[in-house]
Amino acid sequence: MVLAMWGIILVGLFNSVMFPNIFTLGLSNLGPLTSKGSSLMIAAIVGGALLPLFEGLLADRIGVPHAFIVPAVCYVYIACFGFAARHLMASASGIALIPDPSA
């Protein structure tokens, strides 16, 4: 029971650290479209507020354990965004992500 409590607390902590990073990476290199991009990202917060409702409906229909596919899909999407942003930032700055063994 205590492990589950700390797990939920840590999920909240990691989510709170993730949002500023995602917001900053999402707005980088937008130039004159930065204000439109930021407004769309703020509007996406509403989507994040609707996902628990969808997960609850799914839990009622197929069961709680199976409904956790919803946040799992969201975290996979966030991870893909992070990897893509990492590669874009590295290529823009000329940094090699995998060191060259011959160098």
pTM, 2 dp: 0.70
Number of domains the chain is built from: 1
Tell me whether residue 22 is in a domain: no
- Residue 61 is predicted with a pLDDT of 96
Burial 18-44 (b: 16+ CB within 10 A, else e): eeeeebebeeeeeeeeeeebeeeeeee
Tell me whether residue 85 is in a domain: yes
- Residue 102 is predicted with a pLDDT of 66
Burial 54-84 (b: 16+ CB within 10 A, else e): ebeebeeeeeeeebeebeeeeeeeeeeeeee
Tell me whether residue 91 is in a domain: yes
Residue position matching structure tokens 């205590």: 2
In the predicted model, is pLDDT for residue 83 greater than 70? yes
Tell me whether residue 18 is in a domain: no
Tell me whether residue 26 is in a domain: no
Q: Are 74 and 54 in contact (CB under 8 A)?
A: no
Q: What is the dihedral of CA 12, 17, 22, 27, to 10 degrees?
A: 130
Tell me whether residue 13 is in a domain: no
Tell me whether residue 71 is in a domain: yes
- Residue 98 is predicted with a pLDDT of 65
Tell me whether residue 25 is in a domain: no
**Domain encompassing residue 84:** 64-95
Chain segment 29-81, per-residue pLDDT in tens: 888 998 998 998 888 888 788 999 999 999 999 999 999 999 899 889 988 98
- Residue 53 is predicted with a pLDDT of 93
- Residue 66 is predicted with a pLDDT of 94
- Residue 62 is predicted with a pLDDT of 95
